[in-house]
Amino acid sequence: MSHRLATLADFEAVYAIYMADEVIPYLGFDPMSRASFLGVMQGLVASRAFYVVEREGRVRGFYRASRGEGRARHVARLGTLAVAPEEQGSGLARSMIEAAIATLYADGVTRIELTVEADNPRAQRFYGKLGFELEGTMRHAYRRSDDSGYVDQLLMARLLSAASPG
């Protein structure tokens, strides 16, 4: 498994994962055409914080890891995390997050934040097992185009000890 910054050459693989029925409800955009997603992908690549994870030479997942600035330089925010549907349950997501945490810790990060949808108990359990704790609820954080109401997001964070990220 290898992590690297995404490029526009990863467009098709990222698009396929992002638009998968099992993935799209939990990422920031509603289903869209390839042409429309190109702008999203360009923004992700331009951020220089969007990583793809390859297994056996194929993009199998992705995540965004952005750093705080100034007094919040010790904080990183994880997001836009997904794995290919056929990889769900394989341990890839756990390995992805653990490797990202280790890299961030080595670069001075001691707090990692993320949000998870209140209607995604599987993700909540997953992040809980990785040491993330619930810190609060962001009510009516967003609305999916096919929902009649708003979705709450839960803010979760993990503090990394001075001894090790594990």
pLDDT in tens, 93-109: 999 999 999 999 999 99
Please state the pTM of the whole predicted model: 0.90
Residue 164 banded pLDDT, cuts 50, 70, 90: low
Quickly count helices (H) and strands (E) in the chain. Answer: 4, 7
Structure-token pair, residue 161: 């000890």
Contact 115, 137 (CB under 8 A): no
- Mean of per-residue pLDDT scores for the chain: 93
Whole-number pLDDT of residue 149 = 87
End-to-end Cα, the chain, rounded Å: 19
Q: Provide the residue type at 89 as one letter.
A: G
CA distance 85 to 82: 9
Neighbours of 3 (CB within 10 A): 17
Query: Of 101, 104, 82, 92, whose CA–CA distance to 27 is shortest?
Result: 82
> In the chain, where are the structural domains located?
2-159
Taking the domain 2-159, which CATH number applies?
A: 3.40.630.30
Residue 26 banded pLDDT, cuts 50, 70, 90: confident
List of residues 6+ apart from 23 with CB closer than 8 A: 17, 82, 85
